[in-house]
């Protein structure tokens, strides 16, 4: 088997050596033993099941909560010569049927599914005709009530495993304390398993926690960090969508080119932002924790937490997205004690008190049995108008509806863009089947996780050592990592020098205007800049901008320099943008591009201050 592993690693994946922990996990699986792999983001967890899938006889079934990313995972596996597919709700039904037929024939080495797929009868029938050689569960901490991202859909996987005949099982997670590790194996009904914990030590990451008194303090430190890493990839995590937009506005005003990513944006817009960040066209991304899971970008130079994270597991997973290429990178947590209030509020909404749940149920009973066109906001408004004692938030109502649905008192959802609730019985409040103990336990766990982060922010010992202790991982450096603010003090962050521009400013302006001319009024400024930089982003190639003669001619400028160039050209009326953001040349711009007129003196002088021509 050792020979098979090395051969498959080289032939299928093109790697000469394993990363820490990978061989141990893969070998355990091939020896017929179930395993739990706890490896941080970027440590190569997917290889732990993809490699055995190349060697084992039968199908490797991979459970993942990330439907949106399954296609990328499948495409990556296919590029390595692995027969892989995914079956989920994003796949058209005729294609699902075809894939189910192929699954029943054993045509695939790897099949990716979401946990709710096991409720589908057609899928279970196809699976019953398949030999499942390996049952792999990604993001396995989602099955544990002690984990930072518990998901009820995962609770069925223990029964699913038994129905499959208890095949060799591999659970994988980036963050799991010993308590969570034990719970994962218990929920999956695995009696014996090899537990491999590796890769938690990140010697290339500098961990820094700065105590702040105001948003201005935070913004000043962020400006220093972004100036130090100007033109390089940085992610700023915020606790709420509102804060994402506020921080974006402040940083944009300070002259930084930034993008945003959060759950309130359309799928199309989020995809565009992620694509632009991955390709380097937008160097700074301001995001909620909706961004990052499954994202593989190796050259992120800094991660900034604008707010206190909700758990150390979440913090370490997000901070670990920096420096995955092994180069020195910086992780900054901006701590203000008042930030705790945001998470206390979230906890109150996510795990409502019995009074809130009973108030919601009392309101629903008044509607009677059957389906009603009403949603969380309306229910909250009705309760708040009718009761002086109870004040509920629509978020607390949403959580209450989920609990009442789990207890089978109601069903609820959205139809044609409008919410609805179906009342299935008229039980008295004292007879509700809600699992009150479970709600209280989840609330207790969330508060404990938050307290752990607060303690981490206030320690006076080595930051990385405390993180390793939290996950019960071994330290190779003793008691000091010599790469955090507690070991070394607050680092100086000198501003990144701007590289000299090889062209004259007049030539630079003409090249930029030529790029606008070549796009023929079809796209906006960001796409023109991406084309001039030679970006390989999908949105650039899909518009065939990589076929233009101006593609890559300003590749020596970073995105911020290009956007500054276009802003100056627009102020001097050499280019204009319509209501949709599409950019085009003015008559003056055409004249300057063709060399008939000189660029305005004010434009050249402004650029001279921003750029350094050779």
Closest by alpha carbon to 310, among 445, 153, 182, 207? 445
Residue 595 belongs to what domain range? 505-610
| Residue 63 belongs to a domain | yes
**Six-digit token string for 580:** 């949709």
Neighbours of 71 (CB within 10 A): 15
Rounded to whole angstroms, the Cα distance separating 25 from 48 reads 6
Q: Residue 451: inside a domain, yes or no?
A: no
* Same structural domain, 369 and 268: no
Please tell me the distance from the alpha carbon of residue 81 to that of residue 77, in angstroms, as a whole number. Answer: 7
pLDDT digits (tens, 9 = 90+) for 278-330: 888 899 999 998 887 667 788 899 999 999 999 998 899 899 899 988 899 99
What count of other Cβ atoms lies within 10 Å of the Cβ of residue 431? 9
Specify the CATH number for the domain of residue 286.
Answer: 3.40.50.300
Residue 183 and residue 36 in contact, taking contact as beta carbons nearer than 8 Å: no
The pLDDT score that the predictor gives to residue 293 is 67
- Joined together, the tokens standing for residue 501 give 């521009």
* Same domain for 404 and 317: no
Residue 386: helix, strand or coil by DSSP? helix
Say how far apart CA 105 and CA 502 lie, in whole Å: 60
Cα distances from 22 to residues 17, 284, 465, in angstroms, run: 10, 32, 23
Same domain, 55 and 173: yes
The structural domain count of the chain equals 4
Residue finishing a domain among 159, 177, 197: 197
Shared-domain flag, residues 78 and 172: yes
Cα–Cα dist 373/514, whole Å: 55
Torsion of CA 404, 407, 409, 411, to 10 degrees: 70
Widest pairwise Cα distance in the chain: 85
Cα(507)–Cα(204) distance, integer angstroms: 40
Question: pLDDT below 70 — which residues of the chain?
Answer: 1-3, 42, 68, 148, 293-294, 388-390, 497-499, 610, 612-614
Sheet holding 132-137, edge to edge: 84-86, 110-113, 59-63, 132-137, 168-173, 35-38, 194-197
For residue 494, being part of any structural domain is answered with no
Task: Please tell me whether residues 422 and 350 are part of one structural domain.
Answer: yes
Looking at the structure, do residues 191 and 211 belong to the same domain, yes or no? no
- The three-class DSSP label of residue 111 is strand
Residue 84's alpha-carbon distances to 6, 49, 53, 77, in angstroms, are: 21, 12, 10, 6
Question: Does some domain include residue 389?
Answer: yes
So what's the pLDDT on residue 1?
A: 46
Which CATH number belongs to the domain containing residue 423 in this structure?
A: 1.10.10.1420
Is residue 448 assigned to a domain?
no
Q: How many CB atoms are closer than 10 A to CB 275?
A: 18
Same domain, yes or no: 132 and 21: yes
End-to-end alpha-carbon separation of the chain, Å? 59
* Number of helices followed by number of strands (H, E) in the chain: 25, 18
Is 200 in contact with 464 (CB distance < 8 Å)? no
- pLDDT for the residue numbered 388: 66
Residue 301 three-state SS: strand
Distance CA 581, CA 8 (A): 50
CB within 8 A of 435, min separation 6: which ones? 403, 406, 407
Q: Looking at the structure, do residues 311 and 363 belong to the same domain, yes or no?
A: no
Q: Whole-angstrom Cα distance, residue 258 to residue 289?
A: 17
Phi-psi region of 386 (alpha: psi -120 to 50; beta: other; left: phi over 0): alpha
Q: Assess whether 483 and 510 both reside in one domain.
A: no
| Pair (74, 181) in one structural domain | yes
Q: Indicate the burial class of 162 (C-beta count within 10 angstroms; 0-12, 13-18, 19 or more).
A: exposed
Please name the residues in contact with 22: beta carbons below 8 A apart, sequence gap of 6 or more: 44, 47, 48, 51
Give per-residue pLDDT as tens, 433-488: 999 998 998 899 899 999 999 999 999 999 999 999 998 888 889 899 999 999 99
Domain for residue 393, yes or no? Answer: yes
pLDDT at position 160: 94
Identify whether 307 is part of a domain: yes
For residue 10, give both structure tokens: 């080289």
Q: Partners of 415 in the beta sheet? A: 418
Same-domain check for residues 81 and 193: yes
Q: Sign of the CA dihedral 289, 110, 145, 267?
A: positive
Q: C-alpha 295: how far from its chain's center?
A: 6
Domain edge (last residue) among 147, 171, 197:
197
- Hey, what are 248's tokens? 């974006």
CATH of the domain at 598: 1.10.10.10
Q: Does residue 215 sit in the same domain as residue 193?
A: no
Domain-located, residue 447: no
Q: Do the Cβ atoms of 463 and 486 come closer than 8 Å?
A: yes
The tens digit of pLDDT for each residue in 87-101 reads 998 889 999 999 999
């Amino acid at each position: 088997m050792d020979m098979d592993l090395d051969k498959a690693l080289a032939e299928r994946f093109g790697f000469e050596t394993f990363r820490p922990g990978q061989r141990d996990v893969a070998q355990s699986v091939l020896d017929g033993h179930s395993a739990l792999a706890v490896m941080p983001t970027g440590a190569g967890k997917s290889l732990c099941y993809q490699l055995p899938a190349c060697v084992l006889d039968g199908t490797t079934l991979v459970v993942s909560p990330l439907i949106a990313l399954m296609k990328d995972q499948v495409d990556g596996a296919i590029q390595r010569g692995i027969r892989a597919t995914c079956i989920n709700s994003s796949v058209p039904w005729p294609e699902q049927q075809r894939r189910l037929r192929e699954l029943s024939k054993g045509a695939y080495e790897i099949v990716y599914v979401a946990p709710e797929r096991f409720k589908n009868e057609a899928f279970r029938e196809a699976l019953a005709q398949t030999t499942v050689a390996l049952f792999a569960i990604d993001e396995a901490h989602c099955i544990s009530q002690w984990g930072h991202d518990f998901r009820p859909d995962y609770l069925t996987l223990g029964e699913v495993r038994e129905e499959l005949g208890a095949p060799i099982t591999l659970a994988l997670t980036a963050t799991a304390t010993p308590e969570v590790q034990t719970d994962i194996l218990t929920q999956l009904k695995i009696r014996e398993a090899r537990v491999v914990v590796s890769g938690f030590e990140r010697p290339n990451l500098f961990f820094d926690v700065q105590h702040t008194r105001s948003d201005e303090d935070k913004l000043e430190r962020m400006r220093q960090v972004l100036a130090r890493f100007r033109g390089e990839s940085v992610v700023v995590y915020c606790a709420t969508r509102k804060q994402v937009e506020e921080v974006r506005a402040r940083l944009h005003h300070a002259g930084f080119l930034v993008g945003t990513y959060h759950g309130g944006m359309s799928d199309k817009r989020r995809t565009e932002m992620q694509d632009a960040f991955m390709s380097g066209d937008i160097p700074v991304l301001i995001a909620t924790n909706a961004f990052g899971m499954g994202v593989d970008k190796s050259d992120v130079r800094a991660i900034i937490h604008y707010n206190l994270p909700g758990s150390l597991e979440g913090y370490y997973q997000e901070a670990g997205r920096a420096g995955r290429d092994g180069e020195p990178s910086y992780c900054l947590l901006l701590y203000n004690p008042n930030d705790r209030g945001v998470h206390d509020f979230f906890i109150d909404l996510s795990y409502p008190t019995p009074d809130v749940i009973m108030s919601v149920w009392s309101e629903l009973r008044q509607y009677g049995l059957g389906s009603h066109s009403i949603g969380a906001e309306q229910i909250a408004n009705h309760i708040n108008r009718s009761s002086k004692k109870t004040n509920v938030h629509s978020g607390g109502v949403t959580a209450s509806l989920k609990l009442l649905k789990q207890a089978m008192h109601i069903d609820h959802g959205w139809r044609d863009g409008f919410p609805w609730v179906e009342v299935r019985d008229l039980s008295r409040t004292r007879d509700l089947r809600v699992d009150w103990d479970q709600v209280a336990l989840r609330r207790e766990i969330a508060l404990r996780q938050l307290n752990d982060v607060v303690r981490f922010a206030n320690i006076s010992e080595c930051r990385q050592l405390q993180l390793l202790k939290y996950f019960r991982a071994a330290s190779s450096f003793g008691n000091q990592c010599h790469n955090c603010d507690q070991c070394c003090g607050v680092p100086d962050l000198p501003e990144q020098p701007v590289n000299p521009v090889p062209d004259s400013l007049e030539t630079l302006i003409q090249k930029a205007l030529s790029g606008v001319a070549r796009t023929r009024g079809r796209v906006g400024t960001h796409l023109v800049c991406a084309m001039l930089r030679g970006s390989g982003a999908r949105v650039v190639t899909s518009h065939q901008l990589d076929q233009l003669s101006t593609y890559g001619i300003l590749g020596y400028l970073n995105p911020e320099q290009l956007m500054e160039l276009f802003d100056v050209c627009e102020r001097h009326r050499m280019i204009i943008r319509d209501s949709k953001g599409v950019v085009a040349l003015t008559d003056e711009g055409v004249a300057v591009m063709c060399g008939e007129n000189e660029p305005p003196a004010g434009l050249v002088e402004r650029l001279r201050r921003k750029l350094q021509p050779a």
